[in-house]
Chain A
């Protein structure tokens, strides 16, 4: 019976295995000020609430049909800033999906939606 309880505890653990993570969050981003114009490259600034390990972070452009494209990223001018190089895009709905490793050891995954206007 003791073994059954142990097995049930283990199974209970598996039930709650999550596939979402969060700790570092974007507190501000330049897309709030101006949406990108069609067919023009743009540098986007994401501001995080925590120190970010850039070498262990990724930002993807998500296009219609949830097609993912890895974007180049770099350090921004201020603390916690990450610069993302957005390529020229046709008008439409898009999203930035980021996976960020914060200095306190937490991995964060989140999405920012935006539109490209003509």
Chain B
């Protein structure tokens, strides 16, 4: 139970940031971009109702998330310490700060719901809503990483709060753009508002990104003092992932800006209406993942505090080093013989068999993924003119998702050596009496089901919308989970060397998701390019798994 509480704690951190962006970014959007008190803008009630609804719903959910975080802490401490944490917990900064922030967020949500919603064209109400938000933003500073530090506490708390506001302005505005496009698609607002507001947002977006970097860099320099700290620790690794995700989002932002520029100079709105909305949707995937990564980063010890546990860049590089995949598994008897020593705290004996068992599982899974994604890539390139002659011989490549089904079957047999069908413990007994076995069974079922869904989606002419979007949504969610699941255990350095491969796969899962999403939405040739990039990302995930080597611990 403690494991689930801890995981929910990381997850709720990401949800908290999403709600924060909805509320604070929405208020910024209203005051600086919409400026609804200027009647000549041509806004209607539908637009303002939806805009304000996003703000107060975000704030209400933020209050709920904040309260849930406090409850989760109580749950986690009760499970981990095996005792009721009160009255001690009531006196902590986390409890007092958490409750105060919940109440201040409720005040903001209440004001927006009761007053701003009824006076959407009033400059005074918009300004008051922003003023009401300030104490809530400030209260958040006591709940961040810096609050527990001994040095530069005030500086770290202040800059983290500023960093959050800058991110909220950018990401919250992107959420508002998605909302704007939905309203336009449903023909509830004038069509001219889409280019008009995109153009207005563009310079503010650039300022927000500059503010994110300007506030984030000094924090990073406080927590990471060497290049090795950036490369060889979990903190540095997740910060690098954040930077990669930011670059991806900026790539989409650049495409959007180019389309706005083309519209402004030539009056051609083709890209603005046929591509930009989908780039913004893909950008939303990236930004949501970025927020969850940011939340996960807060659970990592800063690199500056763990110099003796930092991996060298050679060790990190070695985890991606191409090598012959392990195709021979240790015996089941050898594996079980080493388990007691491996899990002991005192007198621990690393198990070579356990490490090789895991390597074998990862490597063979990698072979499955590289093979199926190779056929997937072939299914795209066969459409090229040069390959037209052999096209008919390559028709089988469209069945590549079948590889997921076979992978699911492989995982079913290999995941848990001590259980049925390989081990002595029965299927039902092991599934419902051991949390780890249950997780593996769920993973197996998911991989198998994903294969069946994607096969139907690609082959059926009349596949439903939710069927075809299942694959990108689940891939994005899978990537998010890989990035969120980044904790350090009893062997921090070994755990980090395992984590570094998993975070890389998380980033490529996101590329896989965005590529497939854009393939389903864009027109040619962007459609084919995005589709190819998507399966190429799957190929790279396969390579990472195929060369995977777990450190002996």
Given the known A-B contacts A8-B474, A13-B481, are A1 and B81 also in contact in the complex, defined by CB atoms under 8 Å?
A: no
Partner of B6, one of A19, A63, A101: A19
Q: Which residues of A contact B150 (CB under 8 A)?
A: 50-51, 79-80
A-B residue pair count with CB separations less than 8 angstroms: 167
Partner of A56, one of B3, B85, B438, B490: B85
B148 on the interface (CB 8 Å rule)? yes
Q: In the complex, are the beta carbons of B446 and A8 less than 8 A apart?
A: yes
B7 on the interface (CB 8 Å rule)? yes
Given the known A-B contacts A21-B6, A51-B150, are A111 and B301 also in contact in the complex, defined by CB atoms under 8 Å?
A: no
Q: In the complex, are the beta carbons of B299 and A106 less than 8 A apart?
A: yes
Interface size class of B (residues with CB under 8 A): 35 or more
A97 on the interface (CB 8 Å rule)? yes
Q: In the complex, are the beta carbons of B481 and A16 less than 8 A apart?
A: yes
Q: How many residues of A contact B (CB 8 A)?
A: 52
Q: In the complex, are the beta carbons of A18 and B487 less than 8 A apart?
A: yes
Q: In the complex, are the beta carbons of B466 and A56 less than 8 A apart?
A: no
Q: In the complex, are the beta carbons of A103 and B148 less than 8 A apart?
A: yes
- Contact segment of A23-31, A35-43, A83-91: A23-31
Given the known A-B contacts A2-B466, A79-B150, A101-B77, are A11 and B442 also in contact in the complex, defined by CB atoms under 8 Å?
A: yes
B384 on the interface (CB 8 Å rule)? no
Q: Which residues of B contact A101 (CB under 8 A)?
A: 77, 92
Chain B residue with the shortest CB-CB distance to A94: B346
Binary interface encoding of chain B residues 168-206 relative to chain A, with 1 for a CB under 8 A from any of its CBs, else 0: 000000000000000000000000000000000000000
Q: Which residues of A contact B6 (CB under 8 A)?
A: 17-21, 107
A33 on the interface (CB 8 Å rule)? no
B266 on the interface (CB 8 Å rule)? no
Q: In the complex, are the beta carbons of A14 and B81 less than 8 A apart?
A: no
Q: In the complex, are the beta carbons of B299 and A22 less than 8 A apart?
A: yes
Residues in B458-486 with C-beta less than 8 Å from chain A? 464, 466-467, 469-470, 473-474, 477-478, 481-482, 484-485
Binary interface encoding of chain B residues 411-455 relative to chain A, with 1 for a CB under 8 A from any of its CBs, else 0: 000000000000000000000000100111011011001100100
Q: Which residues of A contact B449 (CB under 8 A)?
A: 4, 8
B76 on the interface (CB 8 Å rule)? yes
Chain B residue with the shortest CB-CB distance to A1: B466
A75 on the interface (CB 8 Å rule)? no
Q: In the complex, are the beta carbons of B73 and A49 less than 8 A apart?
A: no
Chain B residue with the shortest CB-CB distance to A79: B150
Q: In the complex, are the beta carbons of A62 and B345 less than 8 A apart?
A: yes
Q: In the complex, are the beta carbons of B88 and A55 less than 8 A apart?
A: yes
Q: In the complex, are the beta carbons of B301 and A25 less than 8 A apart?
A: yes
Q: In the complex, are the beta carbons of B464 and A1 less than 8 A apart?
A: yes
Q: In the complex, are the beta carbons of A9 and B477 less than 8 A apart?
A: yes
The answer for the CA separation of A58 and B3 in the assembled complex, in Å, is 18
Q: In the complex, are the beta carbons of A50 and B439 less than 8 A apart?
A: no
B402 on the interface (CB 8 Å rule)? no
Q: In the complex, are the beta carbons of B474 and A24 less than 8 A apart?
A: no
Q: Which residues of B contact A93 (CB under 8 A)?
A: 346-347
Chain A residue with the shortest CB-CB distance to B444: A15
B89 on the interface (CB 8 Å rule)? yes
Q: Which residues of A contact B492 (CB under 8 A)?
A: 22, 25
B144 on the interface (CB 8 Å rule)? yes
Min CB–CB distance B128 → chain A (angstroms):
31
Q: In the complex, are the beta carbons of B470 and A103 less than 8 A apart?
A: no
Binary interface encoding of chain A residues 46-79 relative to chain B, with 1 for a CB under 8 A from any of its CBs, else 0: 0001110101101000111110000000000001
Q: Which residues of B contact A9 (CB under 8 A)?
A: 473-474, 477
Q: Which residues of B contact A23 (CB under 8 A)?
A: 145, 298-301
Q: Which residues of B contact A56 (CB under 8 A)?
A: 77, 81, 85, 88-89, 92
The answer for the CA separation of A93 and B548 in the assembled complex, in Å, is 33
Q: In the complex, are the beta carbons of B487 and A21 less than 8 A apart?
A: yes
Q: In the complex, are the beta carbons of A103 and B439 less than 8 A apart?
A: no
Q: Which of B144, B445, B470, B495 has the most CB atoms of chain A within a 10 A radius of its CB?
A: B470
The answer for the CA separation of A27 and B307 in the assembled complex, in Å, is 9
Min CB–CB distance A45 → chain B (angstroms):
16
Q: Which residues of A contact B344 (CB under 8 A)?
A: 66
The answer for the CA separation of A83 and B482 in the assembled complex, in Å, is 37
Min CB–CB distance A53 → chain B (angstroms):
5
Q: Which residues of A contact B523 (CB under 8 A)?
A: none
The answer for the CA separation of A83 and B536 in the assembled complex, in Å, is 54
B267 on the interface (CB 8 Å rule)? no
The answer for the CA separation of A7 and B489 in the assembled complex, in Å, is 29
Q: In the complex, are the beta carbons of A63 and B346 less than 8 A apart?
A: yes
B11 on the interface (CB 8 Å rule)? yes
The answer for the CA separation of A58 and B301 in the assembled complex, in Å, is 19
Q: Which residues of A contact B443 (CB under 8 A)?
A: 15
Q: Which residues of A contact B315 (CB under 8 A)?
A: none
Q: Which residues of B contact A12 (CB under 8 A)?
A: 442, 446, 474, 477-478, 481
Given the known A-B contacts A19-B2, A56-B92, A103-B92, are A95 and B148 also in contact in the complex, defined by CB atoms under 8 Å?
A: no
- Give 8 CB contacts A-B under 8 Å: A4-B453, A16-B7, A20-B490, A22-B487, A27-B306, A53-B92, A104-B94, A106-B299
Closest 5 CB pairs of A and B: A55-B88, A104-B148, A19-B3, A20-B489, A103-B148
- Give the interface of B toward A (CB within 8 A): 2-4, 6-7, 10-11, 69, 73, 76-77, 80-81, 85, 88-89, 91-94, 98, 143-150, 298-302, 305-306, 309, 344-347, 435, 438-440, 442-443, 445-446, 449-450, 453, 464, 466-467, 469-470, 473-474, 477-478, 481-482, 484-485, 487-490, 492, 495
Given contacts A20-B490, A80-B150, A111-B345, 18 further A-B contacts (CB under 8 A): A1-B464, A2-B466, A8-B470, A12-B477, A12-B481, A20-B488, A20-B495, A22-B300, A22-B487, A24-B148, A53-B88, A55-B91, A66-B345, A93-B346, A93-B347, A103-B148, A106-B299, A107-B76
